Amino acid sequence: MPKLSKLFLYIKERGFRYAFYKALKYILWRAAVIFQKGGPYQVFLQRNDLKIVFNGQGLDIFLKNKKVSEHNGVDLSVSTFGLLHNASSGKWTLGRCEKEIISFKVYYDKLPLEIELVFRASGKNKLLIDVYSRAEEELIGDEVKLIIIAASFYKEWLCDEKHNPFPSAFPGRWQLLFEDKVAFVGLKDKKPGASFLLRAKSVYADCTFFVENCSKELAARMLGIKFKDFLFDKERTHICSLDLTFFTEDKILDFIMEHLRRKNNFYPRLEQDKDKILLANLPWEKFGRSGVRAGSRWPHIKDYSEGNYLPFPFFLSYATALLKKEGFAAKMIDAIALGLDEKRFFGLLSQEKFKYFVVETSVPSFNFDIKILAKIKEIFPEVVVIISGANTLIYNKEFLLENSFIDVVMYGEYEMTLLELAQSFLKGRDISSVKGIIYRDSSGIVKTSLRPLLDIDILPWPERDSLPMDKYWDLPGNIPHPSVQMLASRGCPFGCKFCLWPQIMYGGSSYRFRDIVDVVDEMEFMVEYYGFKSIYFDDDTFNIGKERILKLCNLLIERKLDCIPWACMARADLMDEEILINMKKAGLWAVKYGVESASQEILDRSGKNLDLKKAISMIKFTKKIGIRTHLTFTFGMEGETKKTIKQTVKLALSLNPDSVQFSIITPFPGTILFEELDKKKRIITKDWSLYDGQYSCVFKPDNLTTEELEEAKNYAYRLWADSQRRKRGLRGDITRFISYWDRGGLGYALRKANSYFRYLLGERSKFIGRI
């Protein structure tokens, strides 16, 4: 009868079609359960070393085939009117049972309450637990506890950076409550290989973590979260989301605890330190659209097609982490990631106490940035303003002469430069010995010698705790979100005349790579501590050095991280089948390849010297073995004609990537490309705001007008969109129509269909086959 009542409720609230769909889904699910072989004890969820078995009245949890739970494994106890009710004594029924997700509904024996427990495998050995409730009538639980019941061999409890032993025996019930806000609780075995942490990702009400000894008879450890005066509603309510992470070795666990120790010791001092260093990615908006600056090799104002795209500000975040590691009170604010306009950004600054202000600028944002910095100096006259970034417009003495509100310029790679500046300021020393800066002294403007490139292995992992990490969005091949961006190397040994970072930040064709073990440690930490579902390596060129890449793949497989999807930016003609097959085995999901042009002659003239024939072969093989591809192309390089543009677009469509980027080549000041064009008097504007490659051509192209080159980009995107429509076919069009209907109703779907037919019958013919 309850099922029939629910069916009528669906009909009343959502209509007959929805009710029919839910009924059919329920029937199919029941059939799957009935015909499942082996009985309830065979129902399990498994990922790497972690295995969850349903024992008929709870769960058994195994790690490396070692049972780490006791009794029913997971319990939800409800104390009401002086009586204690446990899920373990209720009726358990199996819900979903898929490869990496299982769920159970539990009906309490003497309580009008139903709970649903949903378990999802994630990360390396991670279990995500969602708990839902529904009461037949409103019910208040005086005390509600979600409990993980662990084996008695665990000798230590953990809470953030603290760890202490349990009482040596089981003298009776022993409990420890953590009233203050904590990141996690956990248990640790003396022998590495079974430790775990429990974190609350989201909760319906205020809760308290606890660890506890069971009675001597039960001989088990318990930990979990506790609610007071919890209201169970008649509607389905999400109680909490928990993250249960197991560690087969203690290395990453030790990283986490050390990270929290530093974090908890650092933040109280940060608010009090008067010499605080504030690093910022300034706001940048134009025509209601936000820009991308810090972290981008192609700073520009975004268009609507880029959606949530936002690169991670690596230089600023590495510099922040290095300062903090060396004991400085440093904080970073990313106004773009936070969605702050200029007014709200200044409101945020007014709440901060800081003595040094460090920013990155770029060529297209240059004029906008300078206005903001002038305003900052006006409002905070005592603050030392320090500017940096991949922008040679600031790399000369004249810039400081013209902008008195700027105190110091850092040119090139600047993490170590900023650290030495901070050390000099703190000790009151002369800064003339700091390499890589431009500054004022009594004699005038001084530019010190160029700083040698640093050993990137001495850098700590970049600052992430204080940043809105869910806002950094670069998902080649739609790798799972939330995703984190990382660097495994810096620089590129090739000589593309147009490429920004290698020429401006690194001073040429240098290439440095990080220790592979440290890279993999950071990957695992990102997944296990922060809970990221994928990794994107935003290196200039990731796949240099076959032996190195194969070692990385082997280590990922050895550490059982091959279940974590990852992507990278790579050079196609450096790939071979062995490398790609091994990268695929190690978890590679997608690759970004820079192709740029279908003309080998143009590629050679640009300094890229890509072996186009091999690159095409490797791109096809990449797709053949199931790795997704994102390809980039640029128009306007030396020798470009209408014919070569058509050939490039034709190549892009024939390679059938999962996504594509077309741009107008931008000659950033300081690059070889800019110097060559400027020498030939072909730079037509020095309005730096136009230097973003998105909307405008700022130089006189070969064989084309600027208008033709700008139209070429639009032409390419239109042909790409048309190819996607044809690939989608009638079935895809019908699916899209239904999705519009579900999203906005029939009227909305019909309006979208009308617009689509108008395009097919009219506007499409205006550009197909033309340029």
pLDDT digits (tens, 9 = 90+) for 364-374: 999 999 999 99
Q: Which of 170-174, 296-300, 533-537 has the highest mean pLDDT?
A: 533-537
Whole-number pLDDT of residue 54: 82
How far CA 679 is from CA of 206, 637, 684, 699, in Å, comes to 66, 16, 12, 12
User: Which stretch of 287-296, 410-419, 469-478, 618-627 has the lowest confidence by average pLDDT?
Assistant: 287-296
169 falls in which pLDDT band (50, 70, 90)? low
pLDDT above 50 (res 499) = yes
Over residues 571-606, the pLDDT tens digits come to 999 999 999 999 999 999 999 999 999 999 999 999
Read off the pLDDT of each residue in 288-312 and give the average, rounded to a whole number: 89
> What does the alpha-carbon distance between residue 760 and residue 536 come to, in Å, rounded to a whole number?
37
**Global confidence as pTM:** 0.85
Predicted pLDDT of residue 11: 74
Q: Which of 670, 677, 689, 675 lies closest to 637, judged by CA?
A: 677
The secondary structure element, H or E, covering residue 127 is strand 126-135
CA atoms within 13 A on the CB side of 301: 17
Residue spans of beta strands (DSSP E) within 167-274: 174-178, 185-188, 195-203, 208-213, 221-232, 237-247
What does residue 141 show for φ and ψ, rounded to 5 degrees?
-95, 120
**Highest-confidence segment of 92-106, 146-160, 460-474:** 460-474
Cis bond leading into 482, ω under 30°?
yes
220-237 pLDDT, tens digit per residue, is 888 888 888 888 888 888
How much of the chain exceeds pLDDT 70, in percent?
90
For 21, the 3-state DSSP assignment is helix
